[in-house]
A and B are shown apart, each in its own frame.
Chain A
Amino acid sequence: MKYYKNKPISSSEITPSYLFYARRKFMQLVGGATLAAIMPSTVWANDKLSASQNVTYNLKDELTPYKDVTSYNNFYEFGTSKEDPAENAKGLKTRPWSIVVDGEVKKPKTFDIEELLKMAPLEERIYRFRCVEAWSMVIPWIGFPLNELIKQVEPTGNAKFVEFISLHDQEQMPGQKSSVLEWPYREGLRIDEAMHPLTLLTMGLYGELLPNQNGAPVRVVVPWKYGFKSPKSIVRIRFTESQPVSSWMQAGPNEYGFYSNVNPDIDHARWSQAKERRIGEFFKRKTLLLNGYAEEVAQLYAGTDINSYF
């Protein structure tokens, strides 16, 4: 015979652990949501960045692991080896930060980074990323179409091109002490390329704010062009009538063209572009015309042979 001072709790009364934790999770969620509602000014906290998944640009390819995306970078401002940026970009100060938007526009304006983050709904987009060096990744970026920003400044009829200028500060970017490229880093697009819905003003990846080595706090991602056409740590966007000269065009005019669309049929001056190594895979895969975005962007180059764009 067993004696109990209190009646033992019957097993049916015990909250199953999954419910117990579900409640916790729910409370955390509600708490978080409430907090977010009280302080609606920030969409980011603890480097986390919330965004809704874009269903159209939701590539089914396996994502490149976060570790590889953030440790294998070409970002010459922080050194020329792939491991340098992750190591040397720690000193980059991304707050405060602003982008000057000027040139051939009716309403030139300086945008603060916090303002940018709230300008349009943030979307997560999974894009292929193809480097001119014949390797590639699949990255879940967070941002919104660059055209949202462009519409706000109202380009004039003379605005045929857009130039992007990255931060120039030797103190924060030790790689700029070397003259490997002409600093600041400059890139450019034709205005219709910049307006294309695929062209993403990017503030985050993998659900968080852009890590410094990936171009924090704000960059542009142009998925159908080689990676160097997607400038990082942008401080100025200038609208121009004539075609800007990018840093890489200056460095190697016959190796890096203004268009630099991903094209398996146009070899780089020194290596083939027919195949690429997807980071994490052993066998090379065939490179797709316009990096697989031909359907979306081919009309930008309609009427002319795509191979004539260099």
Chain B
Amino acid sequence: MVMRKKLLSYMRAQISIAIFDKMSFKNLSDKVIARVKIIVFLLAFMPLDKLLLYAYLNNLGANPIEKITRVTGYWALFFLLITLAITPIRRLTKWLWVMRLRRMLGLFAFFYGFLHFLTYLILDQFFDCEAILKDIIKRPYITIGFFAFVLMIPLAITSTDSLIRRLGGKRWRFLHRLVYLTAIAGVIHYWWLVKKDLTEPIIFAVVLTTLLGVRVFYGLKSIYKV
């Protein structure tokens, strides 16, 4: 509780600095960006913090493994969509600085996806390779979920400055379009695993369609203008 209060007051202070630092929102200074990044970084860990706290308090419910699987999977998808929202936000608001958050958000999507995968590998199946292989081959929702996760790996690896430089912007951008596939596969994964109540998968699907639709819209616009 104390930690949380401290964290909240720190964030409040940082936000007010960001606002009153006579900044326009179009561009923020490096100093402010660094602060925003810290805030986003701390915020992005909150789902994990909550999970760990609840695990410590033995408060994860009757089926803790299912709960952990659901929470990590949910946040992996959530961060994927947030990452995909960055470019549309920049276009709509002309805030250039949001781009500087994209890598971190994308890595958080990978982070939660990785935790999700580890939960399945260790907690759920406990390294039962035969069962896992069968699952991946036989169960479409696991096949596609695994596919979504695997596609994220090269993106996470090539996210460092030096690798971006070595690949070159063009090739890097091309490679990182894989994130669209990951997000689509991730949402399908969620859609297929739900027993009956599709409310949440539908929300994710609508948001994803919108985010991809915006890209198509801008793409077409640029084609027809040129």
Residues of A whose CB lies within 8 Å of any CB of B are: 67-68, 71-72, 76, 80, 82-83, 133, 135, 178, 180-181, 251-252, 267, 270-272, 274-275, 277, 279-280, 282-284
Please state if B141 and A270 are interface contacts (CB–CB under 8 Å): yes
Please state if B196 and A76 are interface contacts (CB–CB under 8 Å): yes
* Stretch of B29-37, B57-65, B150-158, B215-223 contacting A (4+ beta carbons < 8 Å): B57-65
| B182-193 Cβ-contact flags toward A at 8 Å (1 or 0) | 000000000011
Contact A270:B63 (CB < 8 A) given known A80-B197, A283-B126: no
Q: Which residue of B lies closest to A73 (CB)?
A: B62
Q: A283 CA to B122 CA in the complex, in Å?
A: 10
Chain B contact surface mostly: helix
B225 CB–A CB distance under 8 Å: no
* A-B contact number at CB 8 A: 51
Please state if B196 and A80 are interface contacts (CB–CB under 8 Å): yes
Q: Which residues of B contact A280 (CB under 8 A)?
A: 62
Contact A275:B140 (CB < 8 A) given known A76-B196, A83-B61: no
Please state if A272 and B196 are interface contacts (CB–CB under 8 Å): no
The 4 lowest CB-CB distance pairs between A and B, nearest first, are A72-B62, A68-B62, A80-B197, A279-B62
Q: A180 CA to B193 CA in the complex, in Å?
A: 15
B94 CB–A CB distance under 8 Å: no
Q: A274 CA to B195 CA in the complex, in Å?
A: 18
Q: Which residue of A lies closest to B142 (CB)?
A: A271
Q: A126 CA to B193 CA in the complex, in Å?
A: 31
B139 CB–A CB distance under 8 Å: yes
Contact A270:B62 (CB < 8 A) given known A80-B197, A133-B195, A251-B196: no
22 residue pairs from A and B, CB less than 8 Å apart: A67-B62, A76-B196, A80-B197, A82-B62, A83-B61, A135-B63, A181-B196, A251-B196, A252-B196, A267-B138, A270-B139, A270-B141, A271-B139, A272-B134, A277-B65, A279-B62, A279-B63, A280-B62, A282-B65, A282-B126, A283-B126, A284-B125
Q: Which residue of A lies closest to B141 (CB)?
A: A270
Please state if A272 and B139 are interface contacts (CB–CB under 8 Å): yes
| Extra inter-chain contacts (10) besides given A72-B62, A272-B131, A280-B62, CB under 8 Å | A68-B62, A71-B62, A72-B61, A76-B197, A83-B61, A251-B196, A272-B139, A277-B66, A282-B65, A282-B126
Q: Which residues of B contact A68 (CB under 8 A)?
A: 62
Please state if A272 and B63 are interface contacts (CB–CB under 8 Å): no
Q: Which residue of B lies closest to A65 (CB)?
A: B62
Chain A contact surface mostly: loop
8 A Cβ contacts from B121-174 to A: 123, 125-126, 131, 134-135, 138-141
Q: A73 CA to B196 CA in the complex, in Å?
A: 15
Q: Which residue of A lies closest to B194 (CB)?
A: A80
Please state if B192 and A270 are interface contacts (CB–CB under 8 Å): yes
Q: Which residues of A contact B139 (CB under 8 A)?
A: 270-272
Please state if A270 and B61 are interface contacts (CB–CB under 8 Å): no
Please state if A82 and B197 are interface contacts (CB–CB under 8 Å): no
Q: A252 CA to B131 CA in the complex, in Å?
A: 25
Q: Which residue of B lies closest to A81 (CB)?
A: B197
Please state if B134 and A270 are interface contacts (CB–CB under 8 Å): no
Q: A71 CA to B64 CA in the complex, in Å?
A: 13
Q: Which residues of B contact A282 (CB under 8 A)?
A: 65, 123, 126
Q: Which residue of B lies closest to A228 (CB)?
A: B195
Q: A67 CA to B138 CA in the complex, in Å?
A: 35
Q: Which residues of A contact B61 (CB under 8 A)?
A: 71-72, 82-83
Q: Which residues of A contact B138 (CB under 8 A)?
A: 267, 272
Query: How distant is B77 from chain A, measured CB to nearest CB, in Å?
Result: 17
Q: Which residue of B lies closest to A83 (CB)?
A: B61
Q: A135 CA to B193 CA in the complex, in Å?
A: 15
Query: How distant is B139 from chain A, measured CB to nearest CB, in Å?
Result: 6
Query: How distant is B61 from chain A, measured CB to nearest CB, in Å?
Result: 6
Query: How distant is A186 from chain B, measured CB to nearest CB, in Å?
Result: 15
Q: A82 CA to B63 CA in the complex, in Å?
A: 10
Query: How distant is A282 from chain B, measured CB to nearest CB, in Å?
Result: 8
Q: A187 CA to B126 CA in the complex, in Å?
A: 36
Query: How distant is A6 from chain B, measured CB to nearest CB, in Å?
Result: 55
Q: A283 CA to B127 CA in the complex, in Å?
A: 11
Q: A225 CA to B219 CA in the complex, in Å?
A: 54
Q: Which residues of B contact A76 (CB under 8 A)?
A: 196-197
Q: Which residues of B contact A283 (CB under 8 A)?
A: 126
Q: A274 CA to B134 CA in the complex, in Å?
A: 12
Query: How distant is A127 from chain B, measured CB to nearest CB, in Å?
Result: 17
Residue among B61, B126, B135, B193 with most chain A CB within 10 A: B61
Contact A277:B63 (CB < 8 A) given known A80-B197, A180-B196, A283-B126: yes
Q: Which residue of A lies closest to B195 (CB)?
A: A133
Query: How distant is A64 from chain B, measured CB to nearest CB, in Å?
Result: 8
Q: Which residues of A contact B196 (CB under 8 A)?
A: 76, 80, 180-181, 251-252
Q: A283 CA to B125 CA in the complex, in Å?
A: 8
